[in-house]
Amino acid sequence: MKLKTLIIDDDPLITILLRKMVEEHESLELAATAENGEAAIQLLRATDIDLVFLDIYMPDMTGFEVLDQVERQERTQIIIVSGSDSHGIEAFEYGVADYLVKPFSRDRFNTAVGKVLTKAKKRSGSSNEISKLNEKIVQYIHSRGIFEFTPFPFREAKLGYIYPMLTSNLDFKKESQALEILDAAEKEGYLTSSFMDSFYCCNSCKSNYLLIRESCPKCGSTCLNAEEQVHHFACGYVGPISDFYKKNSKTLLNKSNSLECPKCNKSLQHIGVDYDKPSTMFSCSSCKNRFQNPVVLAKCTDCQTNTPVENLVKTEIKSYELTHLGREAAMGKVAIDIQEKDELADLMDRSQFARAVEREIERVKHYLVQSSLISLQFTNFQQLQKNIGITHRNSLIRELYQLLLSQLDRSCEITFLTLNTAGIFAPEMDLKRAETVSDTVSQEIADLIYDNFDGFRIDINKVVLPIEENQNVKALLDLMIVGETQKV
């Protein structure tokens, strides 16, 4: 949020000082300056201004006379700037935001601007999408006097549940964001939650409509024939029930009523006495593979992803109550301001990594040091992510980061350049050692993933680059991502 600011002062020194402070303030934007009342009135009439620094004594009129002549917009706030503090009461009557007595410090300036910003934020309401949605939710709960804001099961909803008001504001594809939005509101203290239900949904798109199917472990086909297995106690023969059908029995009823052991030719009369049925045998119609344990896959009806059921991530649905803060927000007394947070932002600080590399490029100009950059690209990471879901993916990336930290020298700088590329800046590590190190950590990572994700083999593409003088940092980082090892 940036406030359009107008400075009205006949003193050029004060104008320069204020201009500098305004330009350096991240929430202010200088719209114009005026040296007298007449120019100020014209500017205020012609431009949408959020904040005015207004001098009281000017050659043609006073600051208050300027205010008298202009129909002030509701959004425009005034900070009086005066050499005297004798107009405090009058300023108060005009509803000014603050009163600065010249000379004033930067801290005093910031305090005054802070007051204006708080009011402006309150007036403009919530700033981003998450905040706006949360504002709608708390207003809805409050206006309806809802004690417990509960989701309802609904076939048309992607999650299988809808939250009144909230789900209406989300496209079908983004309906699962409802949970994150409510989570954010809870973290900020507008809502409190209690458990309501938990279920499994698609790891990729969070759809609740999954087709649970048995499939062939070899070819993935779902065209399977199931047959009971028979264990003949007398001779110990175990085989599919069709092996036990008498060859001369013509009807299926006859077949199932008269079993004969293919090994000892004895007739099997009573289950539990002559034989039992220990399991079911499957045969795949596509690849003819025979097996006992089919892979149970959940096929998402929305994104078509097939996920082994044991890899599905549980989703929790909660009901919510308004807190005191939430009620205040619903009544407009508090502005909801929830910043969208990237969960992995701390691991993906590319700018800090670039600065470290840039400093090293400068260093190698002056000192005889050999430093390297290592990039580890997990080329089939997407595939793994599909299986484990975004929440587990983020945990895995954190885990990998910790592993790299433990394996590398303390002087190394590590960041994830993308979700599937880890970048390592290794100061004073020559290319040969960097290659050895990259081999070692790659193996560690591969083992970790293999052990924890059902034997998943991660493909790691290693890139090792020397840091040399006059290199371009941006080009270097791009190379680490695309994986080309040509000289920069």
Partner 1 sequence: MFEMKKNRPEISRKVNISYPDSDRKRYLNQMLISDDMEEIRFDDLKFLKVSSRMYKAIDPDHFREYDAVIIEADDDISTFRLINKIRSHQEKKIYLIPVFLLGLEDEEHVLVHISDGLLTTLSNLEGASYKTRKIQSRM
Indicate whether 179 belongs to the interface with partner 1 (CB under 8 A). Answer: no
CB of 151 vs partner 1, minimal distance in Å:
9
What stretches of 167-244 adopt beta strand conformation (E)?
A: 191-201, 210-215, 224-232, 238-240
Q: What count of Cα atoms within 13 Å lies in the side-chain half-sphere of residue 52? A: 31
CB of 328 to partner 1, least distance (A): 13
Exposure string of 79-91, with b = 16+ CB inside 10 Å and e = fewer, is bbbbeeeebeeeb
Query: What's the CA gap between 163 and 183, in Å, rounded?
Result: 13
Of residues 115, 121, 142, 290, which one binds partner 1 by CB under 8 A?
142
Site stretch for partner 1 (CB under 8 A), options 82-90, 162-170, 387-395, 467-475: 162-170
144 lines the binding site for partner 1 (CB under 8 A): yes
Phi and psi torsions of 321, nearest 5° = -130, 150
User: Which of 147, 152 has the CB closer to partner 1?
Assistant: 152
Q: Which is nearer to partner 1, 165 or 284 (CB)?
A: 165
As measured in angstroms, the least distance from the Cβ of 315 to partner 1 is: 19
Q: With 0-12 CB in 10 A as exposed, 13-18 as middle and 19+ as buried, what is 387?
A: buried
Kindly indicate which of the ranges 154-162, 215-223, 415-423, 428-436 contains the residues binding partner 1, using the contact rule CB under 8 A.
154-162
Strand partners, 231: 238, 276
Q: Does 153 bind partner 1 (CB under 8 A)?
A: yes
Of 53-61, 97-105, 157-165, 216-224, the segment contacting partner 1 by CB under 8 A is 157-165
- At position 357, the amino acid (one-letter code) is V
Q: Which two three-digit tokens encode residue 113?
A: 């601007």
Of 15-23, 138-146, 246-254, 437-445, the segment contacting partner 1 by CB under 8 A is 138-146
* Distance in angstroms (rounded) separating the CA atoms of residues 311 and 302: 18
147 binds partner 1 (CB under 8 A): no
Q: Is 454 helix (H, G, I), strand (E, B) or coil?
A: coil
Check residue 169 for interaction with partner 1 (CB under 8 A): yes
When the beta carbons of 24 and 156 are compared against partner 1, the nearer one is 156
Told to check if 156 binds partner 1 by CB under 8 A, we report yes
Q: By CB under 8 A, what part of segment 44-103 binds partner 1?
A: none
Dihedrals phi, psi of 245, to nearest 5 degrees: -70, 135
Q: Residue 462 phi/psi, 5° resolution? A: -100, 135
Q: How far is the CB of 143 from partner 1 (least distance, A)?
A: 4
Q: Which of 42, 111, 143, 402 binds partner 1 (CB under 8 A)?
A: 143
- The smaller minimum CB distance to partner 1, of residues 136 and 363, is found at 136
Q: Least distance to partner 1 from the beta carbon of 163, Å? A: 9
Cross-strand bridge partners of residue 28:
3
Q: Please say whether the beta carbons of 463 and 426 come within 8 A.
A: no
Least gap, CB of 161 to partner 1 (angstroms): 10
Task: Look at residues 384, 198, 387 and name the one whose alpha carbon lies nearest to residue 308.
Answer: 387
Site membership for partner 1, residue 209 (CB under 8 A): no
From residue 463, alpha-carbon distances to 380, 383, 418 in Å are 16, 21, 15
Q: In sequence order, what DSSP letters do the residues of 348-379 get, joined into one string?
A: --HHHHHHHHHHHHHHHHHS---EEEEEEEET
Instruction: Give the angle subtended at the CA of 128 by the CAs of 127 and 130, to the nearest 5°.
Output: 125
From residue 457, how far is each of 246, 247, 406, 481, 487 by CA, in Å?
A: 48, 48, 22, 21, 30
Nearer to partner 1, 168 or 485 (CB): 168
Q: Provide the minimum distance between the beta carbon of 319 and partner 1 in the complex, in angstroms, as a whole number.
A: 12
Q: Rule CB under 8 A: say whether 374 interacts with partner 1.
A: no
- How many residues contact partner 1, by CB under 8 A? 17
Is 272 one of the binding residues for partner 1 (CB under 8 A)? no
Single-letter residue type at 120? A
Selected binder of partner 1 within 94, 104, 140, 199 (CB under 8 A) = 140
Residue 168 interacts with partner 1 (CB under 8 A): yes or no: yes
Among 62, 127, 139, 305, binds partner 1 (CB under 8 A): 139
User: Could you tell me the smallest distance in angstroms from the CB atom of residue 132 to partner 1?
Assistant: 8
Evaluate whether 16 touches 63 at the Cβ level (below 8 Å).
Answer: no
Does residue 123 belong to the site contacting partner 1 (CB under 8 A)? no
Exactly one of 8, 14, 112, 165 binds partner 1 (CB under 8 A); that residue is: 165
Of the pair 164, 262, the CB lying nearest partner 1 is at: 164
| Contact footprint for partner 1 (CB under 8 A) | 136, 139-140, 142-145, 152-154, 156, 162, 164-165, 167-169
